[in-house]
Structure 1
């Protein structure tokens, strides 16, 4: 808000209930109130002005620790086996209990401690977000980074993205002048520059520091790749993902020192690049009291909603957990980087079909949700059958930045691709089991008569691991086990859970052909390793049951690239009745994995902790970085072209 209008603004706030006429609100939140772009330190000061409250601390810790009784992986995450033994070894319950005796400078500091502790288990199904702080101010740097490989000698180096200036103009508009004034020159002067150091250290010191804190994926490679910019298919088109160097969900960094070599120069120079924070809510605030009222108080939806009651949407739009803490900003990919190929039949929103060359097709899956489940199945059926009619022999399935969705869509696509075999029918997924903790057993025992429409997930029809319906009233009788030295309990194993042999399309049921559409050796599964949940289950099925090629693009050459992460079983936002555990007194939410999926290669242990090393780590060059079609062409040449070299397997 421009200060020239201060007198008019004062007149307005005199009319706001709760303010005394003639008293001017002040403090750090008043300084940034009404402003769209602010310095991170000013946004941070506003958030830090919210006092730490011992009662709220106790409430949050009570709810989070009790809800972890539903989380299937709690004891597994004490010490994961190889290859994740160095990446997942965190006693979350112990860490949370240790916070009870701590005092914090502010509520913001307390929230960050809880959230960071949850992240340390590197599980994308277990997430904690508080809309009082998360993504209220998204903090940007105008230089998204890429890891490029020299096509001549295969050396790798970190660069400012060659299209950084174009992205900055698209996202920041006139605000770009802030950075140009700070740097004393046009931003485009730095596009493509090689980054020699970040804050005086080798760039991968910063990459690995971020990988330690970002969470969500067990594999180091997937967490490293989060640092860099990438591309994904969204509901409204192709999106540019800035990466976690250039975009942060909290205003905690003020600037960064980059030692660079500009394109065409051998001279090293060091520049200090400030960060800038943008307000990310629809309705602004006046001061701290107004901020807390609008963003921090629990709403009618904070603790979930009763399945048999209507619930309201609040005026302040709350992003989903992934939007709050993984990737809050969607930037349209510049047309120069988008695929130039025409979309084929079946393309819709984040599901896209293309014909590449030489009987090679591309299926892009931005997610396994985004719109109605049966509609997605029909689009997949329509698109893949059309490719089959066109004579497509080879198929590239691009699941870059796909964080999952409907598990039954993943299983349906598995069955559609490979026909009806023992590997796809009747069980087209992985066997699972529910954690049978005391509180979960209590919930199940109280269900009869309280869920007449069978809306609660525990009341669905279950099939056992031999794929027969379970009629036993004691289907949830716990099986006691010991995990990492701690007693635990799980249900019996469940098998078939999805209808995978048909789809309801255009008002009628369409049965799938029993024949496969493609041979496994003619399929490539492509990603940047950031494929989770249903995407991970789908990828595991293709890689381990059918031995398809798995290719991860853009990773560090000496780090084994994992083609997926957080396989889990199924996430649930509100697994308990309204009074167990007590409701949150802050505007936050926690999600858990309430069941585990068991492995393909080792069916006695969860797939979550088994190896997912990709067949190939495919380097990005200046000609392919963040250009989907160029990547597909390059992968085609490497894998399918008759002149291609032998497939390079990761060790």
Structure 2
């Protein structure tokens, strides 16, 4: 049977923003943006409000392209990237076997955008975002807030299984309109084989350098919420933020331990520490001998909590990898300026710090956290006194020592990087655990008693946990989903540290570098409040200390695939994973 699924547009735009930044509104029906605004007001904020695809398309394309403004935007983006983006040179290299992405000379491609004849500002801004997506670095983003307030949503969700003939197929996971289609096979989409269409779309997603992980993100996955229930996650093929090429799609049909994120449920880190310990104690008290860590659909979160998670399971070693940053004229100026105002020039010897007497374990823990924060906290991400030399096991004393003499050829471009360092998050955990020595229970589980399960969409802080447990402690890894008979990465975008252009501008302003005439050709101008740009400021190195983790292929040791039952019930998948302990 065939079914036409209409693409609905869910309007979630703040109307005042439309009127002030997008619409030269003259009459209620004078243009598409005004029509959407009026209709939304008439709905009185109805959360189910939808607009016509034709109106949204006309609205987005109605803002004229301004070449002078475009040149300023491109120049600003280039200065930011050339000054701080740590992967700018390496992005020009071909991927390692196992990864799937295009080598990109980002500066050259940004210049090439100015050679195009754009019909609207929306198309220009979208091309910048699409160019960033080609690098498959989820920490690198360019978002125009004017155009990012529409959601294009189909009322169905897709998933992939291996059928009884050992062929990978696409099926309907859920249909909000017609439940009779659930579990029907999708043979074709717009007249083309469904696997081909999904793969093509998945390769536009920026969240992983692994094609199989991107495939999983394009489809539906379940994410376990804090209440133990399931929420639908990912499904980027049927829920999009950018304007689809057409308004409808034609579908041809034939009929454990869960870590959902590393974001604290409240702002109290100590509370989260106790919650983790309480959870592990509960498992131990129940006699649980094996642990399966389900990191599916985990986008990361709080770095300190991620490192503490690893420490609890492996308390006799440091959970840190080494970092570095790119050295440019602008970053050097920031290192100098931030360090000259640092409060950390005389680092505190933590061995002489003693806890107050007669503290309860909770009071002791809070004291230790506050002390570790005080010792490692820094008002700047460029204060070199806040970083530690991992080889000498001491803080850097000068900017020159921190920068060192480290030039690597990446992407054919000689590029300077700082000396490798341990960041303040790792230092904080190390200090915290020293202050609390003897007060943490050591669990009986060994690395061979643990298995990590992911669909590859385990990024940022989540990847810190899985990379450390797998690389440092040989915990087994299982990848689920992805492409049949193809290895799958167990983590994505480890990056190092994501940084926002807004935070950079605050740093430059606070250190008075905008007044520095010698830097005027290097300094990016602040974007207006309609653009958000993010980039990777620091990179993280592998255990062997010479490979950048972001560009190092790390496939899961074991592979599993979803079926009709395990796609809807994660416990079915956990039972399959448990059998790996017997191997």
| Class of the TM-score when normalised by the shorter of the 2 chains | 0.7 to 0.9
CA distance in 2: counterparts of 1:483 and 1:464, whole angstroms = 23
The separation in 1 between residues aligned to 2:125 and 2:309, in whole angstroms, is 40
Q: Which residue of 2 aligns with 1:240?
A: 232
Q: 1:588 to 1:451 in 2, by over 3 A?
A: farther
Given the superposition, is the C-alpha separation of residues 44 and 511 from structure 1 closer, same or farther in structure 2, using an over 3 Å criterion? farther
Paired residue for 1:473, among 398, 411, 426? 398
Structure 2 equivalent of residue 155 of structure 1: 167
Task: Name the count of aligned residue pairs.
Answer: 493
Distance 2:60 2:265 in 1: 32
* Secondary structure of residue in 1 paired with 2:559: strand
Q: Among 51, 65, 70, which residue is 2:64 paired with?
A: 51
Report the Cα distance in structure 1 between the residues aligned to 2:207 and 2:453, rounded to whole angstroms: 19
Q: Which runs of 5+ in 1 are unaligned?
A: 1-12, 169-175, 177-186, 263-360, 647-651
Change (3 A) 1:19 1:29: closer
- C-alpha distance in 1 between matches for 2:79 and 2:226: 36
3-state SS of the aligned residue for 2:402?
coil
Greater helix share, structure number: 2
**Matches of 2:499 and 2:225, distance apart in 1:** 23
Structure 1 residues 77 and 55: alpha-carbon distance in aligned structure 2, compared to 1, 3 A threshold: same
Taking the TM superposition and a 5 Å limit, the aligned residue runs for 1:150-229 are: 150=163, 152-161=164-173, 164-165=174-175, 168=176, 176=177, 187-229=178-220
- Corresponding residue of 1:483: 410
Match of 1:279 in 2: none
Q: 2:261 aligns with which of 362, 366, 370?
A: 366
**Do the aligned residues in 1 keep the contact of 2:152 with 2:239 (CA within 8 Å)?**
yes
Question: Separation in 2 of the partners of 1:418 and 1:472?
Answer: 31
Q: Deviations over 1:420-470 (max 9, x none)?
A: 1xxx23xx1211112112210111222255566831122262111226222
Contact kept? 1:232, 1:366, Cα under 8 Å: no
Conserved in 2, the CA contact under 8 Å of 1:363 and 1:395? no
Match of 2:75 among 55, 58, 62: 62
For normalisation by structure 1, the TM-score amounts to 0.71
Distance 1:467 1:515 in 2: 29
1:415 and 1:501 in contact (8 A); partners too = no
Provide the secondary structure at the position in 1 that maps to 2:279: helix
1:627 aligns with 2:576: no
2:33: which partner in 1?
Answer: 29
Distance, in Å, in 2 between the alignment partners of 1:553 and 1:85 is: 17
Distance (whole Å) between structure 1 residues aligned to residue 280 and residue 129 of structure 2: 41
TM-score between both structures, scaled by the size of structure 2? 0.79
2:356 equivalent in structure 1? none
String of CA shifts for 1:512-556, please: whole Å, max 9, x gaps: 548454211111111111011121121111112222221122222
Question: Is 1:607 matched up with 2:531?
Answer: no
User: Are positions 1:257 and 2:198 aligned together?
Assistant: no
Structure 1 residues 606 and 19: CA distance shift in structure 2, 3 A = closer
Alignment correspondent of 1:591: 534
* Structure 2 residues not aligned, in runs of 5+: 1-18, 41-48, 344-376, 515-522
Per-residue CA distance 1:182-217 (angstroms, 9 max, x = gap): xxxxx1221211011111111121122112211121
Distance 1:540 1:533 in 2: 10
1:432 aligns with 2:373: no
1:446 aligns with 2:337: yes
What is the match of residue 309 of structure 1?
none
Q: Any idea what the Cα deviations from partners look like across 1:154-191, whole Å, max 9, x if unmatched?
A: 33211011xx13xx2xxxxxxx5xxxxxxxxxx12212
- Compared CA separation, residues 527 and 86, structure 1 to 2 (3 A): closer
Q: Is the 8 A contact 1:75 1:483 kept in 2?
A: yes
